[in-house]
Every structure is written in C-alpha cells, then in structure tokens.
Structure 1
Amino acid sequence: MKHIRFYLDFVSPYAWLALQQMPKALQGLSYHVEYRPVLLGALLQHNSNPGPAGIPAKRAWTYRHVSWLGHSLGVELQMPAQHPFKPIALLRLALAHGRDGCINRFVAQSVMQHVWVGGQDANDPQRLQQLRTLLQDQKYHDEGGDEVKQCLRANTDQAQQAGVFGVPAWEVDGHVFWGLDALPMLRSYLQGDSWFDGHWPAAAEVKSGLS
C-alpha cells in the first residue's frame, strides 16, 4: 500500500475538483491518503509566483476554466461571491478538526463544499458557524490556538521542503505530482510504471537556457 500526502488549500478550485476526482482516478489501487491543508499564498510567495489572481487575464481564464471543468466532469462548482479570499480562517477551522496536521476526507469535503457549492461568501461569519456545527463531533483543538497555527506552518513548510509549489499536489515516495491533470500520472506511478525509473530523474537534469 502506497502512502500519499495530499496538500490542499480551500481557496483553490482545482483542489476542489481534484478532491472529487481522486477516488475515481485511483480506483482499484491500494493507497492511503493524508489530507494536509497548507497556505497556498505562502507557497506562491516562496517561489515569487503571483498566482492566477495576480494576472487579470489569467484570473478571468482560470474562473472560466474551472467552471467549465466542473460542468464537464459533473462536479458542482460555483465561484464564491469573492475570490480570491483569505483562507486562513477556513484552514485553521479544518485543522481544529484534525490531528497532527492531518484532516480526514469528511472534513476536507465539508470545507470545500462550503466554499465551492452555492456561490456564497466563504468567510461569512454565519456560514462559518454553520460549518463548525456540522463538524463539531470531530473537533480536537481550538481553531485560534497555537497548536493549530503551528500545524498550518508545519504543513506549509513540509510542502515547501518536498518541492511543492502549488495545489493540489500529491507527494508519494519523494515524488511530487501537481495539478488536477496530474492524476493519471499519479495513477501510473502507483501502478509501478517503469517509465519513472529513468525519465523522472532525467527531466530534472535538463539545462536551462536562461541566464
């Protein structure tokens, strides 16, 4: 059985789509998943990446693209009332309902649905309280406490050290797979495709032509 770390941030529509598609994409394989919330903004800043929201034309394209992907994949997805938004409250809320920086699939699914289904304000206080009520049976920590804050920092640092630069991302055996469209590649790796023995390390050895 392979162990997979799934890094996600609730602000990412691609992470929502990936969460929904992953069971289908990996159907029939033996694996275990850790769901680890990270702060996408910190990963982008670490790599001097403005992200899609930092480029107006790319921002508009991203919203069109993910809306179409939801439609084509049969995944309910409506853009929230404001995007991007600050995801800290949702990340801490989720981690308060997890252990050692990990959350289970029910928590991940519930928080993602809160953001991506219905087209409402993700940080609306009344809606956040409804989400807390939904998850109350799985609460382990104070979402404003130091333990939760440290878990978020540790998860994000762990992701950076692994080479994660965006979400959704999966780490398995030191290999990082990024993006919704990497799911077929991840499946191939889990199935033991020999392509990875030579081509994976070789790709990183290509010399850059930029000074």
Structure 2
Amino acid sequence: MAAAAAVAGGGFGGSKKVVEIFYDVVSPYSWLGFEVLCRYRHNWSIELRFRPAFLGGIMKETGNQPPAMVPKRGEYMKKDIERMAKYYQVPLQLPKDFFGSVIRKGSLSAMRFITAVDMTQPQFLEPVSRELWMRIWSRAAGEAGLPSALAQKLLAMTSTPEVKNRLKATTEEALKYGAFGMPAVVAHVNGESHLFFGSDRLELLGNVIGEKWLGPVPAASKPRM
C-alpha cells in the first residue's frame, strides 16, 4: 500500500477499486479519515494506498490557510474535533499549546521521516503514521514497532534529496488531483479519478464506488487504539 506501489504499478487495474489517501500528520482530520478507511478496507472491495504528502506545500500553492488562523474557524474547530473524535472513536485531542506545537512547528520533518519509511520500510508506514498522530494529537510518546537502529537510519535519510524529492512529488500529485487541503481521498473508478476532501465525505465515497456505508466503526472492524 506504499506510494511506491502506486508509482511502480503504473495503473489502477484489478478487481478492487483503488482508494488513495493523501495525508499529513499535522492534520487532525487526516487522522480521522485515515482510521476510518483502515477499518473499511476490511468491508469494502478496495485497495487502500497511503500517500504521505506535505500539507504546507498544498496550502501555499492553493492560497489556503489553516482553520486555526481564522478566529471563528478556529473556535469552531475546537468543538468540531471533540465531537468528531467521539463519533469516529479516535483518541484525538487538541494540544494545549496548539499554535506552538502544531502551527509554528509544522510537519515538514515528520513527513520527510514518514516518506523515508514509505520508501524503504513500507510495512511500517501505517503504524508509524498512526504513532506520529498519537504523539501530536493524543499522547506524548509511544511505540510504532521500529527498531531503534532502523529509526536512526530513517531519520538520517530525511535530509537526502531522494526523500525530499519524493515528498515533493507526492504533494504535487495531490495538487494535480485538485487537492487544496487534507485529507484528500482519491478514488479511481472505471478510469476516472474522484477527489473527496475531508473526513466527513466517506459516506459519499462509498456511494461513488458502489459500497455500503456502515458508520464510522463498521461491525467487522474494531478500533486499534
């Protein structure tokens, strides 16, 4: 499910419909969409592909800005995240120092690290992405299963041109699909690409790909928090 598979595969054939999620761990709504799609890959006939990208680059290119930078949207977001976390059963909480720990710090280093994981150890892409969301939006520390020596090697890779170029290319691909924020979910159906923005369009996604929406926590799949 790594991005490399999408590039190497060259197409979107096969019996399963391909659903890509472009995400950034700085985005709480990306986490919600990520977890729900992870649950639905066991219920829907889809091939789910994780596409780590850089939200800051997308915002810059499209002239968008974070909701927290607009006072009224920021106020709404605080309440919305609390409601959405409960509904989606994801342990998402706003950090006490939201502006300092999220907005000012940004996510470029984190997304380069995740890109390095995707390029070299794709089997860890899902747990590492989840762990970084947990660190930002739920807890201060945790384990993603990466051996320490391997983690250090991946950290060293984040400054290489290969990783930087890969993250840039994935971000540009999201922009080509029409992304202006995250999560950006792209479904490939009968040769057409359909873009869905946000974590609250997954019911519509199911309708477009011909699958039944069973709520944020389908019975066949349980949250893995």
Instruction: Specify the TM-score bucket, using the shorter chain as the normaliser.
Output: 0.7 to 0.9
Residues of 2 paired with 1:136 and 1:117: CA distance?
A: 26
Once the two structures are superposed, the pairs formed by residues 46-195 of structure 1 within 5 Å of their partners are 46-80=61-95, 81=97, 82-84=101-103, 85-99=105-119, 104-118=125-139, 120=140, 137=150, 142-173=157-188, 174-191=193-210
SS in structure 2 of the partner of residue 185 of structure 1 = helix
- Taking a change above 3 Å as real, the CA distance of residues 134 and 166 of structure 1, as seen in their structure-2 partners, is farther
Unaligned runs of 5+ in 1: 121-126, 194-211
Letter of the structure 2 residue corresponding to residue 146 of structure 1: P
What amino acid does structure 2 have at the position aligned with 1:92? R
d(CA) in 1 for partners of 2:83, 2:74: 14
Compared CA separation, residues 157 and 25, structure 1 to 2 (3 A)? same
Q: 2:46, 2:197 → 1: CA distance?
A: 18
Structure 2 regions of 5+ residues with no counterpart? 1-15, 213-225
Q: CA RMSD in A?
A: 2.9
* AA of the residue aligned to 1:95: T
SS of 2:201's partner is: helix
* Structure-2 residue corresponding to 1:14: 29
Paired residue secondary structure (1:186): helix
Runs (4+) of structure 1 moved beyond 4 Å?
130-141
Aligned residues: 185
TM-score w.r.t. the length of structure 1 is 0.76
